Amino acid sequence: MLVFEFKAYGKVKQFAAVDDAIRTAQFVRNSCIRLWMDNQNTGKNDLQKYCAVLAKTFAFASELNSMARQASAERAWSSISRFYDNCQKKIPGKKGFPQFQKDCRSVEYKTSGWRLAEDRKSITFTDKKGIGKLKLKGTRNLHFYQISQIKRVRLVKRADGVYVQFCINVNRNDNIQPSGNTIGLDVGLKDFYTDSDGNTYANPRFLRIGEQVLKRSQKRISRKIKGSKNRGKARQILGRRHLKISRQRKDHAVKLARCVVQSNDLIAYEDLRIKNMVKNHCLAKSINDASWYQFRVWLEYFGKVWKKVTVAVNPQYTSLECSSCGEIVKKTLSTRTHVCQCGCVMDRDENAARNILSRGLSTVGHTGTFALDASNALGDSSSTRSGASLTEQVMSLIKESQCL
């Protein structure tokens, strides 16, 4: 599934109708959550049927497209099913009980309620909300895909305007020649990552760079009277500042992940629990600013596109274990050089990256990699075949996966 995004241009009245549609979608979702709370054994089909009841009861709900109401009910069921899954898996801590949505920023249409122009440069919403025709501006070309391939259309409201997203049902698979390289990545705060070859990539720190501008924007909001138009304008300015930083992080993660996956056939990285790490209030801002998880998501995505192996390994003792002899060398966070009795002296992060690569080579097929269905056919891929090194075994597995 590909998602193409375009900036929408229209009149003030049209954007007011978009806001009304988003509020209606939020109302439908919250009503479905309330129905599930008040009635036991409420299933997904019951929520779908309840959308018709809401349309008959409330006139503003009937103005929204029927499939858009069903999509809102699906959002409610998604939160409910996630809560059920967390309870069954006995995840420690909070299970994510479904909550009422207070600030919805999108409405989703399915295959009806909209009509795309022949030149693919405008879209018309045909429900009774009165959105009408919106002009589209973007870098993607929709002429390569049929209208039947567009399964969802979303209207997303952001700080700098309204965007239209097209969810296209197509699988992206590209072929690329194997490079024969394997790499282990150790992410950090000083450097964004250090690989097993000793190369480092600087941490961009987008939030730290723009923090002074954010503080000034926040002060301007605090000086304005609540409910005034000037305060609303100041909030929009602050929202655009945060939006710029989030886009910088995404652009950095996408470009870096693409470069790493294209130049290596196996990428091993740490299976970090970011949610637990940010509980340290001294490092939470820096960890969130680094955006490690977003980088990992794009690594796995490009690994699936180009049929490369991405392995998430257990990060335990990767910084303490010596990559040369395997001894545990205790060190604090302030100790940046690894010194072992065997004579191994190197940077702490490089030593960890080598350990990550070693574990990745020995655990190919670990949960968290791309779909290596061939590994099950080959048997236990985590064990080395007699007469073959780990690297040779992985490279042979990569060549076989190219034919999947």
Model confidence pLDDT, tens digit, residues 67-119: 999 999 999 999 999 999 999 988 888 888 999 999 899 999 998 999 999 88
* Interaxial angle between packed helices 66-89 and 44-57, expressed in degrees from 0 to 180 and rounded to the nearest 10: 140
Rounded to an integer, what distance in angstroms lies between the CA atom of residue 120 and that of residue 137?
10
DSSP secondary structure string for all residues of 66-81: HHHHHHHHHHHHHHHH
Same domain, 84 and 158: yes
Q: Is the pLDDT of residue 398 over 80?
A: no
Tens digit of each residue's pLDDT (9 = 90 or more) over 29-45: 999 999 999 988 889 99
Strand pairing category for 200-202 and 161-168? unpaired
- Reduced to 3 states (helix: H, G, I; strand: E, B; else coil), residue 182 is strand
Residues 6+ apart with CB under 8 A from 319: 186, 331, 348, 349, 351, 352
Does residue 272 lie within any of the structural domains?
yes
Average pLDDT over residues 269-289: 89
Range of the domain at 8: 2-168
Does residue 254 lie within any of the structural domains?
no
Out of 53-62, 220-229, 251-260, 324-333, least confident range? 324-333
Cα within 13 Å of Cα(202), Cβ side: 3
Go through 313-333 and write b for each residue having 16 or more CB atoms within 10 A of its CB, e for each that does not.
bebeebbbbbbeeeeebeeee
Does residue 206 lie within any of the structural domains?
no
Confidence bin at 307 (pLDDT 50/70/90): confident
For residue 79, the model assigns a pLDDT of 94
Same domain, 117 and 14: yes
For residue 377, the model assigns a pLDDT of 30
Same domain, 35 and 162: yes
Same domain, 162 and 190: no
Same domain, 10 and 140: yes
Q: Is the pLDDT of residue 361 over 90?
A: no
Same domain, 108 and 194: no
Task: Record the pTM.
Answer: 0.80
Same domain, 139 and 197: no
| Percentage of the residues of the chain whose pLDDT score is greater than 70 | 90
Tens digit of each residue's pLDDT (9 = 90 or more) over 159-168: 999 999 999 9
Rounded to an integer, what distance in angstroms lies between the CA atom of residue 385 and that of residue 38?
58
Same domain, 287 and 352: yes
Same domain, 164 and 186: no
Does residue 251 lie within any of the structural domains?
no
Q: Is the pLDDT of residue 254 over 90?
A: yes
Same domain, 107 and 162: yes
| Percentage of the residues of the chain whose pLDDT score is greater than 90 | 51
Does residue 220 lie within any of the structural domains?
no
Structural domains counted in the chain: 2
Same domain, 290 and 330: yes
Out of 44-58, 99-113, 339-353, 370-384, least confident range? 370-384
Does residue 81 lie within any of the structural domains?
yes
Q: Is the pLDDT of residue 382 over 80?
A: no
Does residue 155 lie within any of the structural domains?
yes
Bigger pLDDT: 367 or 308? Answer: 308
Rounded to an integer, what distance in angstroms lies between the CA atom of residue 86 and that of residue 378?
33
Confidence bin at 136 (pLDDT 50/70/90): very high
Confidence bin at 226 (pLDDT 50/70/90): confident
Nearest to 213 by CA among 170, 258, 243, 179: 243
Nearest to 301 by CA among 272, 260, 270, 271: 260
Residues 6+ apart with CB under 8 A from 67: 109, 110, 111, 112, 113
Same domain, 51 and 107: yes
Does residue 232 lie within any of the structural domains?
no
Confidence bin at 273 (pLDDT 50/70/90): confident
Rounded to an integer, what distance in angstroms lies between the CA atom of residue 309 and that of residue 299?
10
Average pLDDT, the chain: 85
